[in-house]
Amino acid sequence: MPELPEVETVLQGIKPYIEHKTIRNIVIRQPKLRWAIPKGIARMLKDQRVIEATRRGKYMLLKLEKGTVILHLGMSGSLKVMTQMTSPDKHDHFDIVFDDICLRFTDARRFGAFLYTADDPDQHPLLKDLGIEPLRRTFTGHYLQRQAKGRKIGVKQFIMNQKIVVGVGNIYAAEALFIASLHPMTPVDSITLTQFEQLARAIKTVLQAAIKKGGTTLRDFKDSKGRSGYFKQKLNVYDRAGQPCYRCNLLLELMRIQNRSTVFCKRCQPIE
DNA sequence: AAATTCTCCTGAAGGC
DNA sequence: TGCCTTCAGGAGAATT
């Protein structure tokens, strides 16, 4: 389930292999992803140099001499640097081929995306309404409080809304709420500034710690070299329903919010 | 406008 | 062994 730390891990892994390199070929085996891979994409990308590889939320952006490639890993996608070509597996949907290496995209569930825009990527429909980057200095308790004004949703849905803040998915939302001692269903209009400050801090802390560990591998996340992430060992609540809270020993609760499993500690994260 | 529900997809896991 | 059901989830689209 690639969230911000997993995307960042993949991005840092592929960066040195593709920046300032020229795309030589695009091989598409399965164009049907979240959106169909645009028909003329190979023609658009061929012989273009990658100026830099960046990230916006959970999207990876390859800035080219002309235009930008937009990549998303969906929930089961991975990008691998192939230093030598092997025959593709069933779910290896496309390759971006360079002179010395190739980027191979694998995604069993096909929720990922491979798109191209000739214009300012920040104006692309998928990117233009995205919220703030959580690791920015300007992501603060004040910011969250401002965004929460007039809303009635629970805090977990709030911080998972990519229009509020990007990069926080089901795993890190649960973890951040535990650290901030907030019940996932706490209505955002009842949260104090102090609590919002703790929450913003908790999100930064957990994302940064996860990046340091190379992301979280629960089932299938792999970095650009096929390695697992090691943040799972640090998870306080996610995937730990029914097990004792590390802080107070009470068995952790499982509830479903918007059809997402949500684990929390009733005692450490009380609802007012 | 905001909130909720539906949808895409397939592998894994559990029940019988 | 095998078939069926359920679950996992990012996030846009459709609906309320």
pLDDT tens-place string over residues A106-131: 998 888 999 999 999 999 999 999 99
pLDDT of the residue at A219: 66
Asked if strand C comes closer than 7 Å to A170 Cβ, the answer is: yes
Tens-digit pLDDT profile for residues A57-76 = 999 999 999 999 999 998 88
Asked if strand C comes closer than 7 Å to A184 Cβ, the answer is: no
- CA to C1' distance (Å), from A257 to C6: 17
- Cβ A73 vs Cβ A55: under 8 Å: no
- CA to C1' distance (Å), from A152 to C15: 19
From residue A69, alpha-carbon distances to A53, A62, A117, A157, A259 in Å are 9, 5, 7, 29, 32
Give the residue nearest to nucleotide B11 (CA to C1'): A108
Tens-digit pLDDT profile for residues A163-220 = 999 999 999 999 999 999 999 999 999 999 999 999 999 999 999 999 988 777 776 6
- Cβ A176 vs Cβ A166: under 8 Å: no
Helix A170-179 / helix A193-212 crossing angle, nearest 10 deg: 130
CA-wise closest residue to A80 among A105, A59, A51: A105
Nucleotide nearest to A130 (CA to C1'): C11
- CA to C1' distance (Å), from A17 to B3: 43
pTM score, two decimals? 0.94
pLDDT of the residue at A228: 76
Q: Count CA within 13 A, CB hemisphere, residue A240.
A: 21
pLDDT of the residue at A225: 79
Give the residue nearest to nucleotide B4 (CA to C1'): A258
CA-wise closest residue to A13 among A60, A75, A64: A60
* Ramachandran category for residue A265: left, alpha or beta (phi over 0 → left; psi -120 to 50 → alpha): beta
What single-letter DSSP state applies at residue A99? Answer: S
Neighbours of A259 (CB within 10 A): 5
Q: Count CA within 13 A, CB hemisphere, residue A77.
A: 24
Catalytic one of A3, A6, A8, A175: A3
Q: If pLDDT is split at 50, 70 and 90, which confidence band does A233 have?
A: confident
| CB within 7 A of strand C (chain A, 65-104) | 72, 74-76
Catalytic one of A56, A58, A104, A240: A58
Asked if strand B comes closer than 7 Å to A153 Cβ, the answer is: yes
Q: What percent of chain A has pLDDT over 70?
A: 99
Q: Which two tokens stand for residue A216?
A: 């979280």
Radius of gyration of chain A (CA): 20
Distance CA A206, CA A83 (A): 32
Q: How high does pLDDT run on average in chain A?
A: 91
Annotation marks residue A156 as catalytic: no
Q: Count CA within 13 A, CB hemisphere, residue A176.
A: 30
Annotation marks residue A260 as catalytic: yes
Asked if strand B comes closer than 7 Å to A213 Cβ, the answer is: no
Q: If pLDDT is split at 50, 70 and 90, which confidence band does A259 have?
A: confident
pLDDT of the residue at A48: 97
- Cβ A50 vs Cβ A64: under 8 Å: yes
pLDDT of the residue at A55: 94
- CA to C1' distance (Å), from A182 to B16: 41
Asked if strand C comes closer than 7 Å to A2 Cβ, the answer is: yes
Q: Which two tokens stand for residue A8?
A: 């960042």
- CA to C1' distance (Å), from A259 to C16: 18
- Residue A258: is its pLDDT beyond 90? no
Q: Which SS3 state, helix, strand or coil, does residue A74 take? A: coil
B strand bases under 7 Å from protein CB: 2-12
pLDDT of the residue at A67: 95
